[in-house]
Amino acid sequence: MNAVDLASSYDLIVIGGGPAGLAAASLAARAGVSTVLFDENPGVGGQIYRGITSTPVTNRLILGEDYWAGEALANEAEASGAVVVNGATVWSLDPERVVGVSIAGKARLIEARRVIIATGSQERPFPIPGWTLPGVMTAGAAQTVLKAQGLLPDGRTVMAGTGPLMWLLAAQILRAGGKIEAILDTTPRRNFLRASPHLPDFVLSPYFAKGLALLREVKAKVPVRRVSSVAAVGDGKLREVVSDRGRMPADLLLLHQGVVPNVNLALAAGTAHAWNERQLCFQPVLDDHFESSVPGIAVAGDGAGIAGGTAAAERGRIAAIAAVRALKPAAAVPDPQSVRQRLRREEMGRAFLDWLHRPADSFRQPEGDTLACRCEEVTARQVRETADMGCEGPNQMKAFLRCGMGPCQGRLCGLTITELIAAQRKTTPAEVGYYRLRPPVKPITLAELASLPISEAERKAVER
């Protein structure tokens, strides 16, 4: 679908086509609500089900049954009557629920009576020395090209980090016939102590058995070392990985230390956010129905706080039920209680996982010449010194150092800058706060912006 073919308004706009967005859009469309779903990727599925309708990886064992569970969601959305638009980048959402979207170089402003933000998560910044070198990528990046394009790491591959996703990817690479030289496990040993009170819940959760099996599968084939420092070294491209346990030559280093909500769109829409100390990230403040502080705008899925793909879908359904009830009170919707029950079961093991995989301070709060902001190439030292000089918050830091002002708009430095300021000024991230974010949440070309239909622009200009 092209930008010009879109209606000028819909009852519901869902932003993001991962499990949360797909489940929300299907449920709402089936209830008779006019629904459009925008996703900037070429296909639906989001991160967990990336490439679900097109993956060349046909051997189902490689990506595993949890991946293929996405097929049902994609089919459901397809059959639901929701308008699903891929290659559609949402760059703006305002509190009046006007959505700015670009499709194939053309922009539109589309209105909605309700909006569900389902933009998911991103990997937590992992600022180590050399993390900008070609040859260093996130584990999620390697997983994305494995799922969507069937690309497998080739050459000497090292993984470093912590968290379930790292182990999942390792297993997927091995099953596909790939090789991993070593896994540098950065999980601090003492985390287990912190996590252990939550062990009983975890044991009962769906993650327990799967997790153990994965670990066993990977450890049988790959040497795993606990490390407390990691650096990528090379000149113009990665040559070796250096840790406190030694150096090893490498062509590809895959980094991962968990995922955090992708907050840019929700923040730019003006929704309130709060610091989550357990998950070490900001997340939107939401009510029981995942409705944000801005009326008519909900945030579902991992963007609402990390809980995993299955939980994301259930959250999407709860948000969609609330939207349908507001828009079409007479429409039939599934029983929210059973949805909530499934959601609770999914969320059970989280506390244990979060505490166990909590990244060490040294991997979140870099020192010296390590880049905190990749785009503007601002070092940790500069940020720390500026904080010492009296800079109290990330917005002032932006003005002093330009960190967060490059094209990624703070996505890969936001948490680092907040945590560095908090550490340096001996206060909390909650106190320091986050970048003030504004649309465009994704850069748009001047030509795209100029392409906004004039009639629409004029009409809106008169209304305001």
Ligand X SMILES: Cc1cc2nc3c(=O)[nH]c(=O)nc-3n(C[C@H](O)[C@H](O)[C@H](O)COP(=O)(O)OP(=O)(O)OC[C@H]3O[C@@H](n4cnc5c(N)ncnc54)[C@H](O)[C@@H]3O)c2cc1C
Binders of ligand X among residues 107 to 136 (CB under 6 A) are 118-123
Specify burial of residue 7 (Cβ count, 10 A radius: 0-12, 13-18, 19+): exposed
Of 6, 116, 297, 444, the one binding other proteins by CB under 8 A: 444
The entry of ligand X, other proteins, none near residue 15 (CB within 5 to 8 angstroms by kind) is ligand X
Binding part of the chain for ligand X, among 10-18, 152-160, 357-365, 406-414 by CB under 6 A, reads: 10-18
Of 40, 76, 240, 347, the one binding ligand X by CB under 6 A: 40
Which CB, 135 or 206, lies closer to other proteins?
135
Please, which contacts does 392-397 make with residues 24 or more away whose CB atoms are closer than 8 Å? 392/421, 392/425, 392/432, 393/421, 393/432, 393/433, 394/418, 394/421, 394/432, 394/433, 394/434, 394/435, 395/435, 395/436, 397/421
Question: Which amino acid is it at 171?
Answer: A
Torsion of CA 168, 171, 172, 178, to 10 degrees: 140
Q: Longest Cα pair distance anywhere in the chain, in angstroms? A: 67
Task: Mark 13-52 with x for binding to other proteins (rule: CB under 8 A) and - for no binding.
Answer: ---------------------------xxx----x---x-
3-class secondary structure, 241: strand
Of 148, 158, 313, 432, the one binding other proteins by CB under 8 A: 148
Range 215-274, binding other proteins (CB under 8 A): 236-237, 251-252, 262, 270
Range 246-265, binding ligand X (CB under 6 A): 259, 265
Q: Quote the least distance from Cβ 357 to ligand X, whole Å.
A: 13
Q: Quote the least distance from Cβ 102 to ligand X, whole Å.
A: 9
Does the footprint of other proteins cover residue 450 (CB under 8 A)?
yes
Question: Which amino acid is it at 224?
Answer: V
DSSP state of 222: S
Question: Which amino acid is it at 191?
Answer: N
* Size of interface with other proteins, in residues (CB under 8 A): 84
Q: Is 24 in contact with 317 (CB distance < 8 Å)? A: yes
HSE toward the beta carbon, residue 75, CA cutoff 13 A: 5
The entry of other proteins, ligand X, none near residue 367 (CB within 5 to 8 angstroms by kind) is none
Range 164-223, binding other proteins (CB under 8 A): 176-177
Range 279-338, binding ligand X (CB under 6 A): 301-303, 308-309, 312
Q: Write the DSSP string, 308-375.
A: -HHHHHHHHHHHHHHHHHHH-TTS----HHHHHHHHHHHHTTHHHHHHHTPPPHHHHS--TTSEEETT
Of 12, 14, 20, 28, the one binding ligand X by CB under 6 A: 20
Task: Mark 137-156 with x for binding to ligand X (rule: CB under 6 A) and - for no binding.
Answer: ---x--xx------------
Per this entry, what is the length of the chain? 464
Q: Which residues contact ligand X (rule: CB under 6 A)?
A: 15-21, 38-41, 46-48, 89-90, 118-123, 140, 143-144, 165, 168, 259, 265, 301-303, 308-309, 312, 441-442
